[in-house]
């Protein structure tokens, strides 16, 4: 019984220290304190993923040392993970605009600014 309790405590501490995860189209995606994750619809080829990656990587809050120029795209599971610079507040609206201007539908985005509480925002398409 003691071993089980210790294991549970260690597991809870790992979640707090290392961030939290979310399931996106069958893939478990870790959302760390310096990550921004977008669940999108319509990302179907690697050429499209490269174009989206190029657009997002131009944003000032993106840490280009992470992933590939700061952006990881998963066309199979339809999500984009963006590495954030430390102590830099991301302009989520700009990232949303880049994704939408590239022709993709944004379903949700996930942030974990404290590393302890995953925040999920359903994206509502605003008509122009």
| pLDDT score for 3 | 53
Residue spans of the domains in the chain: they are 19-122
Largest CA distance in the chain: 59
What is the arithmetic mean of pLDDT over 31-51? Answer: 90
Supply the mean pLDDT for the chain: 83
What does the block give as tokens for 96? 């949303």
Q: What would the pLDDT profile of 69-87 be if each residue is shown by its tens digit?
A: 999 999 999 999 999 999 8
Q: Which CATH class is domain 19-122?
A: alpha beta
Residue 9 has pLDDT above 80, yes or no: no
Q: How far does Cα 92 stand from its chain's mean position?
A: 11
| pLDDT score for 95 | 94
- At 122 the three-state DSSP class reads strand
pTM: 0.79
């Amino acid at each position: 019984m003691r071993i089980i309790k210790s294991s549970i405590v260690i597991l809870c501490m790992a979640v707090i220290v290392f961030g939290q995860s979310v399931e996106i189209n069958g893939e478990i995606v870790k959302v760390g304190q310096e990550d921004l994750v977008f669940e999108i619809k319509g990302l179907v080829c690697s050429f499209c993923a490269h174009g989206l990656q190029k657009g997002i990587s131009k944003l000032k809050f993106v840490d280009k040392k992470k992933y590939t120029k700061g952006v990881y795209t998963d066309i199979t599971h339809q999500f984009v993970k963006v590495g954030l610079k430390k102590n830099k507040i991301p302009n989520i609206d700009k990232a949303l605009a880049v994704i939408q201007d590239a022709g993709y539908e944004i379903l949700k985005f996930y942030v974990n600014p404290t590393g302890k509480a995953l925040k999920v925002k359903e994206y509502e398409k605003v008509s122009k």
